[in-house]
Amino acid sequence: MNNLINDIKKELRANMNGVASAHARQTEDYRVNWGVELPRLANIADEIAENRFSSVPSKEISLRALAQALWNESTRECKILGCMLMPATDFDEEVCDIWAESIRTEEIATMFCFYLVQKLPYASTKAFEWMAREEKMLQNCGYLTLCHLMRKYPLSEEAEAEFLDQAGASLDNRYAIKALQIYASLSEDNARKVKKVADYL
């Protein structure tokens, strides 16, 4: 595993974006940030998944174990690759919560929800659980996940009422605002409901 992680890091360093990396180091959001752009990270993830990246046979290292090892690294690119590579079918709720609670940047929250959480069979459950939490980053994950889910299918009447109640109480969160905007864009009836929330406040 360590050899494979080191191989991946070498590839990441070879693809680093100096300007983006220097800016990110100044913000101290990450211990290490090579500034590798998302399209290249997606290509690297494909190479890893197809076992074209390393001489290590795929049967010796599961994608789940590799994704977890990458997530444990204090590196922007490794965490994003972990989100891209983790099989949704192997990602249980307890581990999902552990990952979510360890997130420290909005970028990683966005990648986590886009590449992984929205694909989980329990995504809706997690979204509503996180929206109700006090921790800002978990709230972000909840609203980000719901943004993706609402584009796929309508909320149930009960879920809709809970969402409007939670989002109405979280208008200081830009992801709650974004979720309300997406919800309102889906139908005229939804738009009226969002307006009622805004008028009430």
Helices (H), 87-173: 93-102, 106-115, 123-131, 136-152, 157-168
pLDDT value at position 196? 87
DSSP secondary structure letter of residue 32? B
Cα distance between residue 21 and residue 198, in whole Å = 40
What is the DSSP code string of 158-194?
HHHHHHHHHHHT-TTSHHHHHHHHHHHHT-HHHHHHH
Cα distance between residue 142 and residue 176, in whole Å = 9
pLDDT value at position 197? 83
**Closest to 180 (Cα-Cα) out of 168, 189, 162, 188:** 168
SS3 content of the chain, % helix, strand, coil (to 5): 75, 0, 25
pLDDT value at position 29? 67
Question: What are the tokens at 91?
Answer: 């990602």
Instruction: Give the count of alpha carbons within 13 A of 27, CB side only.
Output: 14
Which amino acid makes up residue 63? L
- pTM across the whole model: 0.90
pLDDT in tens, the chain (201 residues): 888 899 999 999 998 876 666 665 555 567 788 889 999 999 999 998 887 555 455 556 789 999 999 999 999 999 999 999 999 999 999 999 999 999 999 999 999 999 999 999 999 999 999 999 999 999 999 999 999 999 999 999 999 999 999 999 999 999 999 999 999 999 999 999 999 887 755
